[in-house]
Amino acid sequence: MRALVVFESMFGDTKEVADAVAFGLASGMKVQIKEAGIAPDVVDDSVDVLVVGGPTHAFGLSRPGTREDAAKQAAGAGVISDRLGLREWLAGVTLHPGLQVAAFDTRVNKPRLPGSAAHAAERRLRRLGCTIFAPAESFYIRPKSPVISLPQSEAQAIRNALEATGGERGKAAQLLKIGRTTLYRKMKEYNLV
């Protein structure tokens, strides 16, 4: 038997769950895991089980606008799914009839927060002729703090200054209003050398 796990993840939480799902499935079958932006357009009958997962954004599957907002929240840390999301993948994929499927999502644990990416994905999969073998499941995560530590902020400011000056340390130090020696010491401290 073969399984395919397709996920969308912004900050890494959904990827961690997808990895755990793939690990669990691997005890009984061969498993392939793909991020939605690079997942296959056609899932043929060589795949017996499909599991899809994504973050709940704005009460359901993410959209380009909600992914853009999440990328801004990442504040330069980068995001994992920077191409198509699970919504777009499900809209364009061809699945074989009767494929066994399940869906999961990640979401912030807040009381009475409606909507679920897993339920939305499950409805789409059912419309595509798939057979649901397990009910949609939500995994609760802690929200990432938009506040970063002072050392992280300082390291990011140094990276930005070096990038803006084409790597010229003297100009970067001037831009940061610190001495060159201080800049070099900070670069060593933050492993930027």
- The predicted-structure confidence for 42-100, as pLDDT tens digits, reads as follows 999 999 999 999 999 988 999 998 888 887 776 656 668 877 899 999 999 999 999 99
Would you state the pLDDT for residue 4? Answer: 98
Report d(CA 146, CA 138) in Å as an integer. 23
Report d(CA 15, CA 8) in Å as an integer. 7
Nearest to residue 36, comparing CAs of 129, 121, 107? 121
* Residue 162 reports pLDDT greater than 70: yes
Helix (H, G, I), strand (E, B) or coil at 24: helix
- Across all residues in the chain, what is the average pLDDT? 89
Q: Domains of the chain by range and CATH?
A: 2-141 (3.40.50.360), 150-189 (1.10.10)
Q: Which residues contact 149 (CB under 8 A, 6 or more apart)?
A: none
Report d(CA 41, CA 89) in Å as an integer. 8
Helix (H, G, I), strand (E, B) or coil at 188: helix
Would you state the pLDDT for residue 78? Answer: 62
pTM, rounded to two decimals: 0.73
Question: Tokens 């900050």 appear where?
Answer: 11
Q: What is the pLDDT of residues 130-156, one digit of tens each?
A: 999 999 999 998 766 555 567 777 888
The DSSP bridge pattern shows strands 94-95 and 137-141 to be unpaired
